[in-house]
Amino acid sequence: MKKTIMATALIAATGFAGAAQADKLDDIIASGTLRCAVVLDFPPMGMRDANNEPVGFDVDYCNDLAAALGVSAEIVETPFPERIPALMSGRVDVGVASTSDTLERAKTVGFTIPYFAFEMAVTANDGAGIASYEGMKGHTVGAVAGTYEAIALEKQVQEWGEGEFRPYQTQADVFLALSQGQLDATVSTSTVAMANVKTGNFPGISVVGKAPFDTDYVALFTSRNEYGLINYLNLFVNQQIRTGRYAELYEKWVGGELPDLTVPNAYR
């Protein structure tokens, strides 16, 4: 008898606890503030302007998300290694931090569908007459030594059997060599390529196309058990693309050809 009463009480208690527990989506709306983890030393995704205010693609994306939720946005600056710890220790609600959606990370946090993709772009010296990735065949190309794109490019040059590959120490060195004509073309992340072309420090170079290397898809993330919020975020990312806001932000911060956020022959 006693056991039955206790069991009933326990079930009732869990029922109440379940009903009373608001999820994170409700918490954010109730608190009136959305706290986003953003990396601010990663232009053009996150950086600071001349007034030291946070700006960039990720900052705008967080502001859009807050506007959609009807709350104000709080940008919480988190260095790359601090992004997931900041979420786990409750300092932020959502990560809008150019985070690659790796399976390893997905064991800890819940990822949305990709909201941005870092593609590899070919940047060429205008005098070299290169118009595409294949156009680099037989030319002198280079990249930052040790990076993913450098390894892939060197392999490609060997495959082509003509032309030359030159490794450089820094990204700035590569663009300087390109601008000075020591190099005909390079492959780098599209954001880096556009940012360097835009600075005007390297005259006579332009981004001519995409390189068929692996694309680095990045996603928003939050606590992995917050399905309500993850659903909302997925729809939000979809709406950003649908309404053209994604294209608008891409043009504003990066420029050039819009990366495709879907993987061919896959559902998600």
Partner 1 sequence: MFDTALTTADLIFLAKGAGMTILVTAISVAIGTALGIAFGVIRVQFGAALTAPLTFVLDIFRSVPLLIQLVLANAFLGMVLKLQLSGFFVACMVLSLYTSAYCAEIVRGGIDAVPATTRRAARSLGMSWGQDMRYIVMPLATRVALPSWIGLALGVMKDSALVYVVQVTELLKSTQILITRLQEPLFLLMIGGAFYFLISFPLARFGGYLEKRWSND
Interface positions with partner 1 (CB under 8 A): 27, 31, 40-41, 47-48, 50-52, 76-77, 89-91
- Tell the smallest beta-carbon distance from residue 246 to partner 1 (Å): 26
Cis omega before residue 44 (within 30°)?
yes
DSSP string, 11-33: HHHHHHHHHH---HHHHHHHHTE
Nearer to partner 1, 40 or 124 (CB): 40
- Tell the smallest beta-carbon distance from residue 41 to partner 1 (Å): 5
Output DSSP code: residue 46: B
Nearer to partner 1, 80 or 242 (CB): 80
Dist. CA 215–CA 114, nearest whole Å: 11
For 128, 147, 163, 257, the CA distances from 181, given in Å and listed in that order, are 8, 22, 15, 25
Nearer to partner 1, 76 or 122 (CB): 76
Helices (H), 142-226: 148-160, 171-179, 190-199
Nearer to partner 1, 40 or 174 (CB): 40
Q: Tokens standing for 207?
A: 């981004």
- Tell the smallest beta-carbon distance from residue 242 to partner 1 (Å): 33
Q: Tokens standing for 144?
A: 């930052």
- Tell the smallest beta-carbon distance from residue 191 to partner 1 (Å): 17
**Contact criterion met (CB below 8 Å) for 258 and 240:** no
**Contact criterion met (CB below 8 Å) for 210 and 256:** no
Nearer to partner 1, 24 or 139 (CB): 24
Nearer to partner 1, 94 or 211 (CB): 94
- Tell the smallest beta-carbon distance from residue 210 to partner 1 (Å): 30
Q: Where are the beta strands (DSSP E) in the chain?
A: 33-38, 47-48, 54-55, 72-77, 94-100, 109-125, 140-144, 164-168, 185-189, 205-223
- Tell the smallest beta-carbon distance from residue 52 to partner 1 (Å): 5
Nearer to partner 1, 37 or 230 (CB): 37
- Tell the smallest beta-carbon distance from residue 31 to partner 1 (Å): 6
